[in-house]
Amino acid sequence: MRRTAVVVGAAVALAVAVTGVAAVLGPAGSAPVVAPAPAAGPVDPIARTQERLRLVPGDWRAWAALAVAYVERGRVTADPTNYPRAEEAVRRSLAVRPTGNGEALVARGALANARHDFAAARRFALEATKINEYDADAFAVLADAQTQLGDAAGATAAVQRQLDLRPGLSAYARASYDLELRGRVAEATDLMRRALDAAVSPADIGFCRVQLGDLAWHAGDLDGATRQYEAGLAADPGSVALRRGKARADWAAGRRAAALDGYLDVTRRAPIPSYVLEYAELLRAAGRTAEADAQLDLAVAGHRLFTAAGGVDGLTGTALALAAGDPATALEEARAEWARRTHADVADNLAWALHHAGRDAEALRYARTAVGSGARSALYAYHLGVIELSLGRTGAAEADLATALRLNPHFSPTDAPLARTLLAGPEVTR
């Protein structure tokens, strides 16, 4: 599914002021009204905050802001070595003000979310809301944690509270994702279009275009996705997320050389393991096996760096193990992730690991959980169809494979063609 960037705190304010946002996440058909009123964020929050702390080392709010800035830098650069720096900044904030320090708790929550310790993030966010029930940043952290833990109702409530307290791009992106996870894609898209209308800075415009492009992509609108990515790059040429979206769309449109060049650029700028795995998949599809294997090695190294910095990511661990032909390790990673959280992505991940381990009867339950979550995902439907076909449920399998291709004919450079092949014959290829 589409991922929203986690942007929390005074240090990284991607804010677009809006009004009239009551009940954005209420009954289907509600129409939020957005009135543009731009707000600009700092250019270099880390340098600016460090200068403040040189002058006033006892500013506990500034230490918390510095922590959030390091979390954001880690997200943007795909460099998790920023996370220990964030942790130290939080420690300094709490050393100055050990109690009643909601800002430090929000920073701790943002860091926990970045490390995928969503249960801890929820705990810190809830503690922060007890200190200040009007802290929009705390509800942003809480919304991200609840979403990833699979608490749909809790996530919706937290997002709505953030919208009520401080409507802006951060809140609108989360609200859009919340709607998408419930299958309300048209409303999710409308929300991001309204946010785009209010966006002013290149970074904010680019961010909105990424979200709109990803929504179009997952809905099977290749031309629409391409237009959004290209328009975003015109505003924010350095955006890695936009470059990745454009490269993915180029491959689907048959512009293979441009796609491979684009992914090479993306993975050099931000060697996020998921991006590197996507690049490896395209290289393998292009017959460049040795290069694909080298990229897998880089993805493994990136994953190890993330875990060494205190992160945990069973989804990537599963994908890496499957790519290495190790279904036992993949299943171990997938089960551990499911024990931590019950997001639909994790259910789908566990189902696919079970399938590769030859345990399709068990996999069926989790694949159905993912599809039944409400999210309109071609990949969920494809995985369910393959599992059903493995169990001899031919009719159900054909329906779900057809659904996958209807939702997005280009959902995967390898699995989409395989779905077409499976629909034409009885064989199951893993």
Residue 77: predicted pLDDT: 87
Residue 25: predicted pLDDT: 59
Residue 308: predicted pLDDT: 95
Residue 1: predicted pLDDT: 60
Residue 128: predicted pLDDT: 98
* pLDDT tens digits, 416-427: 999 999 999 755
Query: Does 14 have pLDDT greater than 60?
Result: no
Distance separating alpha carbons of residues 330 and 262, to the nearest angstrom: 29
Query: Does 30 have pLDDT greater than 60?
Result: no
* pLDDT tens digits, 279-299: 999 999 999 999 999 999 999
180, 3 Cβ separation under 8 angstroms: no
Query: Does 106 have pLDDT greater than 70?
Result: yes
% the chain with pLDDT above 70? 89
Confidence of residue 76 (pLDDT cuts 50, 70, 90): confident
**Is pTM, for the whole model, over 0.85?**
yes
Confidence of residue 256 (pLDDT cuts 50, 70, 90): very high
Crossing angle (nearest 10°) for helices 344-356 and 360-371: 160
Query: Does 353 have pLDDT greater than 70?
Result: yes
Mean pLDDT of all residues in 366-383:
98
Residue 266: predicted pLDDT: 97
CATH superfamily of 318-430: Tetratricopeptide repeat domain (1.25.40.10)
Residue 13: predicted pLDDT: 36
Residue 7: predicted pLDDT: 38
Domain with CATH 1.25.40.10 in the chain: 10-17+36-167, 318-430
Fold of 10-17+36-167: 1.25.40
Distance separating alpha carbons of residues 253 and 378, to the nearest angstrom: 18
